[in-house]
Amino acid sequence: MCDTPPMTSQTITADAAGTWKLGDHSVHRIGLGAMRLTGSAAFHLGVPSDRTRSIAVLRKAVELGVNHIDTAAFYFSALRSANELINSALAPYPDDLLIATKVGPHREYDGEWGTAARPEQLRGHVEENLRQLGRDHLDLVYLRRMRQDSVAEHFGALAELREAGLIRHLGLSDVHPRHLAEAQAIAPVVSVQNRLGLGLRTPAADELLRRCGEQGIAFVPFYAIAGERGELGAAESGDEVIAAVARAHGVTPVQIRTAWTLHRGPHVLAIPGTGNPDHLVANVATGAIRLTDAELARLDALHAAAA
């Protein structure tokens, strides 16, 4: 299912990372996370982004072949909404563009987090994403689990919206392996989005990564380049092992973190987020990095030691 083309001497585009079939879309394995388009820090914190620059990032991403954008209605800052930026920059949307969004968390308009959505509230969340993006259906909707023990009721509510034609494909976010099985008994799952990055492991990540690979399900790590910094942004240079591998390839440690993530399997899709055009170009170019077996062994050992 994964096709990895050779590197070229021309400008590196997203097809260098290869492709994966995500639902009925063939997407390049390097995509774009939209959260940081809204400002210099997560959500309503920090300095709001420059609107013109954020729109330029989105348009440049599509020019570079990015056809997988990850967003949510709750990605907004004091002045910017990620969905509105995407709509303004890219509508009418290219036919090959997949826009994934997520529901479950709830934020008030002042930026404060509310209680997790109840199953009957998810239709309103879906409709808000539709309105903001200017679409009549959503390509892919993740249910972001909010610490509930079972996802059945919430996922069942989204499955009904899928049957109604408002959603094309369903995914899960921040789940354990048992939640994947629980959801699959209700409706097909095409993607799982969980936290995973070099030196950052969660108890569920390795098992989900394996199960998704075996079943042909996409695995989409979030905070893959941020490490423990999470929503605050990319990790610093980090361990000397990462820095040494970066020097050998003439790239940055952040690019090596992303490249290592892509090497976890052909079903792994990276969605590094940025509001900086230069960082976008570097992120997309990461798809052309081919780590050697020896380099992977050193990085894997570093990752295992951090567990």
C-alpha 146/C-alpha 244 separation (Å) is 38
Is 142 assigned a catalytic role? no
List CB contacts of 80: < 8 A, sequence separation 6 or more: 37, 38, 39, 48, 49, 51, 54
How buried is residue 72: exposed, middle or buried, by Cβ count under 10 Å (0-12/13-18/19+)? Answer: buried
Counting every residue written for the chain, the total comes to 307
Q: Which of 227, 99, 226 is nearest to 171 (CA)?
A: 99
What is the bridge-based pairing of β-strands 19-22 and 25-28? antiparallel
For residue 54, report the phi and psi dihedrals to the nearest 5 degrees. Answer: -65, -40
So which residues are the catalytic ones?
75
